[in-house]
Every structure is written in structure tokens, then in C-alpha cells.
Structure 1
Amino acid sequence: MRDEEADKQYHLREAEDKEAADFISQLVQQNSNDSSGSSSTKNSNKRKAIGNSEGHTVKKPNGSRNAKQNAISSENKQTDFVVEYLKKTRENKIVARQAQIRINNLKKVLLTLKSEESTMANALKRENR
């Protein structure tokens, strides 16, 4: 019985570790500076400029692809992501606890049925003697 409990604890910890690793990898992916997702760095460090009709360089518009995100909005996104992750984790733990309670109740019922079965079998043996 203790081996089963230890095995369950191990699998629960393993699942939590995997969730944490996934969570961290998602954060890293969201905070990546490479917006294209490309691993190529050939052109990534070059500064791109837009020229006007006279050939002069002008500032890129705010909606351009390489415009930096507002730090506050990025922080809010991360906070929302963390809050959502924690909610899901709590919900999963609640469901796991409820399932464990049901499993334990079923084990108790099974033990009760086995003991009743054995008492009935013993009673039948006595009658047959």
C-alpha cells in the first residue's frame, strides 16, 4: 500500500515539474526578442529604416513590426498568464484530491465487500458440515 502511495506521489511531482517547465518555457518564448521566431541571425541585428520620397531616413511608425512593446502591457500579460496558470493548478489539485477521496472510498467499500463475502463463505462452510 505504501509503495502505491509513493508511486502516486512520484507521478504527481513529476507532473508538477513538467507543468513548471512548460510554464517557464512559455514565459521565455513570450519574452523572446526575435518576433519572427526564426533562428537565423543574419539580418536580425541590422537596423532597418524607412526612406521618404526624397531619400531621407524617417522614423518607423509605432505599429511597425519591430516596435518595442510597452513594458507595462508586457508585464500585465505575464501577470495574467501567471494568475491563469495558478488558477488551473489549483483546479487540478482540487480535482486530484476529489478523485483520491473517491478512490479511497471505493477501496473501503471493496474491503467491506470482501469481508462480508468471507463471512458468508465461512457461514456456508459451517452449514455444509
Structure 2
Amino acid sequence: MSEIQSGDSSVRDEIAIVAGPRGWGDTRESWLARVPRRVKSELRTKTETLTFRLVKALWYGEITDPDHWAARDIRRAAELIEARKEASAMADRFQQIAGGMRDANSNLYSEEIDRLEHIARIISGLDRS
């Protein structure tokens, strides 16, 4: 019960992050079927293809190894999704701070406002410079 249960719960949480919110018309199978499409397969060989069946086996605890390659791929995808959410929230916060500085005194804080807006664009992926 120790490591397997905690690993199982963790894998299920990561699958839920990758699958995204369940819509009113989604069955559990259609929801789980999103996961293989959303997980990048750049580092896998042809014999290691993430399939719906593998995701389902992880979800229902048929695969209990938390270090299984499919669990690791899903974990990486979930971490990337969470990092993007955090970056987006940070970019939004920087935009709010810049807006407050602009309202307070745009002449005095013009350089800082420009920097914050530039950083927010970089973080949100709109500006690569």
C-alpha cells in the first residue's frame, strides 16, 4: 500500500492535468484518450508509443511502477503544463504591476514599466528577444 498507492494517486493526478478538464459530454474513456495526443513522443522509440490502453492501465492501477516510461512521459507533460500555467500567471501579474505603475506616474516609472512589459511578453512567449 505504501509506494504503489501514492504513486498511483500521483500518476492519476498527472493524467488529469494532461487530459484537462472533463467536459459535460466527455466519458472517462474520451477524456483519457486525450492524453496520448497531448504527450510529446520525441524521445520515444517506435516500440514505446503512448497509447490509450497504456494511459488506461496507469489510471486503473494495472501498471503500478511509478517509474514506467509512460508514467514518466505523462509526468513530464504535466510538469510542462503546470509550468506554463505558472508562467502565464506571472506574466499577468507583471502586466498588472506595470499598469499600476503607469497609473501612478508613467513618466517616473517609464523604464521599469517597459522592462516589466518586456519580461511579461517573453514569459508569455510573445517575444523571443
TM-score interval, normalised by the smaller of the two chains? 0.3 to 0.5
User: What is the TM-score when the length of structure 2 is the normalising length?
Assistant: 0.34
- The structure whose RCO (Cα within 8 Å, separation 6+) is larger is 2
Structure with higher Rg: it is 1
In the superposition, the TM-score normalised over structure 1's length comes to 0.34
